[in-house]
Copies of this chain bind each other. A is one copy, B any other.
Amino acid sequence: MINIKRLCARIDELAQIGRVEGTQGVCRLAFTEADQQARDYIITQMKGLGLRVAVDRIGNVFGTRPGQADLPAVMTGSHIDSVRTGGRLDGALGVLAGLEVVEALNENAIMTRRPLTVAVFSNEEGARFQPDMMGSLVFQGDLDLQAALDTVGIDGISVRESLARIGMTGAADTRDMAVYGFVELHIEQGPVLETLGRTIGIVEGVQGISWTQFVVEGTSNHAGTTPMNMRTDAGHVATRIATFARALAGELGPAQLATVGALTLYPNLVNVVPSRATITVDLRNTDDASLSEAEARLSEFAGKAAAQEGASLRQTRLARFAPVSFARHIMEKVEQSAAKRHLSTLRMPSGAGHDAQILARMCPSGMIFVPSVGGLSHNVNEFTNERDLDAGAMVLFDVLYDLAMSPFGTPVRCHSAPA
């Protein structure tokens, strides 16, 4: 069904918009001119495929192919905004594969029981406006539309003004839109599928994330004149926290990730005992109880390490997201499709955030991953082999078709916005 050449041609066309000179990558920060051109491209494609297009007030674009009955739609899609030096596949693949599924259905004159909607969610990356996943959060209801529009970006311009400038303030009210299920095809953005030689990632959920910053205050001293037992070395406390975090991940098993990405000493001079150290620890786990245990053990250790050194310690939780579990029946449909098509699979968590985790709050949702060569992500050299893109699009077709043909009852839409 899937025409991989056609899909790749659209990927290539979209990648010309906001292209980073001399690379295969793109720069399409949310609500910029490049983002707008990309939206125009998608809307033109949608219309060409006969989809009914609606744009809501945060700029989310929905292209809907009618079903046999006026039932809640099956939805697919992703985003087309990017980070400053992003790849051509992150987000774009999910949207364009959705269009390819539509075109394949059109070509084969298949009328599905339920409508099928291809969605483009605004500002998934959060590279210009915080928070990320803004469009899906407003659609789902956990982020207030007005608050989102009031958000000021890194360039001092608000979302409201940016949307107006690019003429993308839609009128569609999607608050009553019911969704039967949401499936997102995405590149893995990590090395696991490639390393293990698997083609299809059956995404079980999105890891919970906990970011903690520790600020240690000790005493600055001369490295030559201060005996070891008279020091209050803030840097020493920080490096102990760092090595503990790594050991903790080893102890709690492969689902537990721990990363010390940022560590800063002050005054950061070779012969001065640091008076202050700032360190961040990024903990992730697919299981919320395990994540909480990791947080508690890290916090306890940090307190003990600071006390042993006589240093003071301030802990700040920078971010905390509970893990998300995707719908079991969608994972099973992905698995069945892959088996039918003789594609190797791996059940795995998503380490990064995606619109699907927001949609999961309102309807059964799932994700399909395809391998990222070298695990590269948020990088102009992001790449996935054509064969793997084909495999992912075929599985997406199967799962969307299956859901769209489903006779089973309609889940009530659980829009969590205030009435």
**In the docked arrangement, what's the CA distance between A375 and B222, Å?**
9
Contact A226 B190 (CB under 8 A): yes
Which residues in chain A, 241-268, are within 8 Å of chain B measured between CB atoms?
Answer: 242-243, 246, 249-250, 254, 256-265, 268
**Is A149 located at the chain interface by the 8 A CB criterion?**
no
Is B270 within 8 A of A280, CB to CB? yes
Nearest-neighbor residue (CB-CB) of A221 within chain B: B375
Q: Is A269 among interface residues, defined by CB-CB distance under 8 A?
A: yes
Interface residues of A in 337-364 (CB under 8 A from B): 350-353
Interface residue tally of chain A, by bracket? 35 or more
* Binding stretch for chain B, among A14-22, A229-237, A401-409: A229-237
In the assembly, what is the distance between CA of A249 and CA of B227, in Å?
Answer: 10
- Whether B261 contacts A263 by the Cβ 8 Å rule is no
Q: Do A191 and B224 contact each other (CB < 8 Å), given the known contacts A239-B242, A260-B236?
A: no
User: Is A378 interfacial (CB 8 A cutoff)?
Assistant: yes
**Bound state CA distance, A233 and B243, in angstroms?**
12
Let me know if A318 is at the binding interface, CB within 8 A: yes
Query: Does A1 count as interface, using CB distance less than 8 angstroms?
Result: no
B260 engages A263 (CB within 8 Å)? no
Bound together, the chains give a CA A104 to CA B59 distance in angstroms of 88
Residues of B within 8 Å of A263, CB to CB, are 235, 239, 263, 265, 268
Q: Which residues in A have some Cβ–Cβ distance to B below 8 Å?
A: 188-192, 195, 207, 209, 211, 213, 221-230, 233, 235-236, 239-240, 242-243, 246, 249-250, 254, 256-265, 268-274, 280, 282, 284, 318, 350-353, 375, 377-378
